[in-house]
Amino acid sequence: MTYLTKLSAAALSELLVSKQVSAVEATHAHLDHITAVDTDLHAFLHVAGDAALATAAEIDARRAAGEVLNPLAGVPIAIKDVLATQDMPTTAGSKILEGWVPPYDATVVSRLRAAGLIPLGKTNMDEFAMGSSTEHSAYGVTRNPWDRDRIPGGSGGGSAAAVASFQAPLALGSDTGGSIRQPAAVTGSVGVKPTYGGVSRYGAIALASSLDQVGPVSRSVYDAALLHDVIGGHDPLDSTSLTDSWPSMAAAAQAGLKDGALKGVRVGVIKELSGDGFQAGVTQRFTETLALLVAAGAEITELSAPNFEYAVAAYYLILPAEASSNLARFDSVRFGIRVNPDSGSLTSEHVMSATREAGFGPEVKRRIILGTYALSAGYYDAYYGSAQKVRTLIQRDFAAAFSQVDVLVSPSAPTTAFKFGEKLADPMAMYLNDVTTIPANLAGVPGMSIPMGLAPEDGLPVGLQIMAPAKADARLYTVGAAIEQLLEARWGHTMLSQAPALTPTEMFASEEGAV
């Protein structure tokens, strides 16, 4: 049944709805594949095999009884470990939450369950989503399915690698500065950061509250749209959740498959997100993709967003400031580990400080200290205050751009997947990796990454980022599906069908109960 793992969520859904395949069969196929390949890749921190099979059997019984279910009912899904799940440990990749099983589900997880999707397990990530390589996970790295010596991106490297290596057709991610889009780019998969507030964050462990957004991870634009329709929409439990009613993203993606979908579409290319600092093969595939768009009738305009140059700097003030406040909740009282100090009195303050020393990794400490600095008296105006002004300027740049074009495009990341350890010793080099994705988070606009080819110099995937105005997520799906179709027609195959075959290993993936 290996073929079941190769199918898109949409194709698997058709087989499930027409009862040619059962949810138990589909779940078994994916669990077997996880067992075969994930000891090596380590996309999952936890695999809930028994629970997944039980849920699948329940879906099969309901479908057999004639109940009309969501088309995605019975489709397996992987969940980033930043999302609370009441039947699986939730660690956000941190030792401080080792073994924590939340007493509630994140809203997006509740919605998955209500739609009958089958949670397979929890995926690896940089600790508290701080990173671009998954090297900052407290539980070890995830390997890139295209090259085991390279990073799968971050922070959602686990979700991207799971989908790219056919361990799940769908996954959930979270994107604060690119954590869905950059892993998608370097693994040849698809990832979408919805409009800020478009998808509930209730039960998502907060990193930076004015930037975080939950979104879909998949192998095709249409699959991402199907998942977006399940998780999106207003949630009264999240006070930043938008009350708008949203069009069907799946219908929007299908509209992109029609002839002439790109005719007359005004596409803006941001001058500041190309050129110096971009790998040659990335630039080459981007230029070729633009030519393909022109041939399909799109109108390309080069635009300047002069303040994007300051986006990374503003982001690395705003994010640590917000993170230092959000992570204050890890106080060794209500959840997580408690560590007593080696010496001194056992006061709450000392126990809290010893717990955070033992429980947080180096990147988390770095950002908390940086955020504490940016917010301290005497520096607040110069740093945090200025960063908030830059945020205004970046929003103005987007407004000016979207007054001229329908969508903006850029490479999703300046380079293909880099090697483990390459940027670990130099935090700024790691931070600059997010230069392409950060502006969308600062402005709250939706962004998508789709594969646009392999870089000739290293044979690794290159991602195209598409951005639309706030609340125009549907436009992303239409344009994204249209470009994906053009590229696949030119290649004669999907991107991930070209990924190297993975060798099964003898060992077993982490079993239920283990992290």
Partner 1 sequence: MSEITAEQVAHLAYLARIDLSPLEITSLTHDLGQIVDSIAKVSEVATADTPATSHPMPLTNVFREDVVVPSLTVEQALSGAPDRAGDKFRVPAILDEE
Asked if 94 and 127 count as a contact pair (C-beta separation under 8 A), the reply is yes
Nearest residue to 26 (alpha-carbon basis) of 53, 41, 3, 4:
4
Asked if 213 and 441 count as a contact pair (C-beta separation under 8 A), the reply is yes
> Which residue among 8, 13, 80, 410 is the active-site one?
80
Q: Out of 313, 488, 491, 498, name the contact with partner 1 by CB under 8 A.
A: 313
Q: Would you say 24 or 208 has its CB closer to partner 1?
A: 208
C-beta of 253: minimal distance to partner 1 in Å?
A: 24
Q: Out of 357, 419, 456, 507, name the contact with partner 1 by CB under 8 A.
A: 357
Q: Out of 370, 448, 467, 476, name the contact with partner 1 by CB under 8 A.
A: 370
Q: Would you say 246 or 360 has its CB closer to partner 1?
A: 360
Instruction: Find the part of the chain contacting partner 1 (CB under 8 A) among 131-139, 249-257, 314-322, 481-489.
Output: 314-322
Say whether residue 2 binds partner 1 (CB under 8 A).
Answer: no
First-to-final CA distance of the chain? 28
Query: Which residue is it, tokens 């390949």?
Result: 37
Cis ω for the linkage preceding 386 (within 30 of 0):
no
Which helix (H) or strand (E) covers residue 170, if one does? strand 170-174
Site string for partner 1, 441-480 (x = CB under 8 A): xxxxx------------------------x----------
Residue 350's alpha-carbon distances to 333, 335, 345, 353, 369, in angstroms, are 13, 17, 7, 5, 18
Q: CA-to-CA distance for 346 and 263, rounded, in angstroms? A: 69
C-beta of 309: minimal distance to partner 1 in Å?
A: 8
Say whether residue 389 binds partner 1 (CB under 8 A).
Answer: yes
Within residues 176-215, the interface with partner 1 by CB under 8 A covers 195-197, 210-211
Q: CA-to-CA distance for 21 and 23, rounded, in angstroms? A: 7
Hey, which bits of 349-491 come out as E strands?
407-411, 447-454, 461-467
Say whether residue 335 binds partner 1 (CB under 8 A).
Answer: yes
Q: CA-to-CA distance for 221 and 448, rounded, in angstroms? A: 9
Backbone angles phi, psi at 204, to 5 degrees: -90, 125
Backbone angles phi, psi at 112, to 5 degrees: -60, -45
Q: Which two tokens stand for residue 480?
A: 């994204």
Q: Would you say 271 or 338 has its CB closer to partner 1?
A: 338
Say whether residue 297 binds partner 1 (CB under 8 A).
Answer: no
Asked if 86 and 5 count as a contact pair (C-beta separation under 8 A), the reply is no
Say whether residue 336 binds partner 1 (CB under 8 A).
Answer: yes
Q: Would you say 104 or 508 has its CB closer to partner 1?
A: 104
> Which residue among 133, 179, 189, 241 is the active-site one?
179
Asked if 187 and 152 count as a contact pair (C-beta separation under 8 A), the reply is yes
Within residues 217-246, the interface with partner 1 by CB under 8 A covers 236, 239-240, 242
Say whether residue 368 binds partner 1 (CB under 8 A).
Answer: yes
Q: Would you say 257 or 358 has its CB closer to partner 1?
A: 358
C-beta of 362: minimal distance to partner 1 in Å?
A: 8
C-beta of 276: minimal distance to partner 1 in Å?
A: 16
Instruction: Find the part of the chain contacting partner 1 (CB under 8 A) among 54-62, 141-149, 366-374, 401-409.
Output: 366-374
Q: Out of 64, 294, 333, 489, name the contact with partner 1 by CB under 8 A.
A: 333
Site string for partner 1, 275-294 (x = CB under 8 A): --------------------
Q: CA-to-CA distance for 160 and 390, rounded, in angstroms? A: 31
> Which residue among 13, 22, 133, 155 is the active-site one?
155
Which helix (H) or strand (E) covers residue 268, if one does? strand 266-270
Say whether residue 73 binds partner 1 (CB under 8 A).
Answer: no
Backbone angles phi, psi at 247, to 5 degrees: -70, 165
Specify whether 80 is catalytic. Answer: yes
317-340 in b/e burial notation, b at 16+ Cβ within 10 A?
A: bbbbbbbbbbbeebbbeeebbebe
Asked if 91 and 97 count as a contact pair (C-beta separation under 8 A), the reply is yes
C-beta of 515: minimal distance to partner 1 in Å?
A: 14
Site string for partner 1, 98-137 (x = CB under 8 A): --xxxxx---------------------------------
Instruction: Find the part of the chain contacting partner 1 (CB under 8 A) among 5-13, 180-188, 282-290, 357-365.
Output: 357-365
Q: CA-to-CA distance for 473 and 479, rounded, in angstroms? A: 10
Specify whether 155 is catalytic. Answer: yes
Asked if 304 and 272 count as a contact pair (C-beta separation under 8 A), the reply is yes
Site string for partner 1, 415-434 (x = CB under 8 A): ------------xx--x---
C-beta of 80: minimal distance to partner 1 in Å?
A: 19
Number of residues that bind partner 1 (CB under 8 A): 75
Burial class (CB in 10 A: 0-12, 13-18, 19+), 120: buried
Catalytic residue ranges = 80, 155, 179
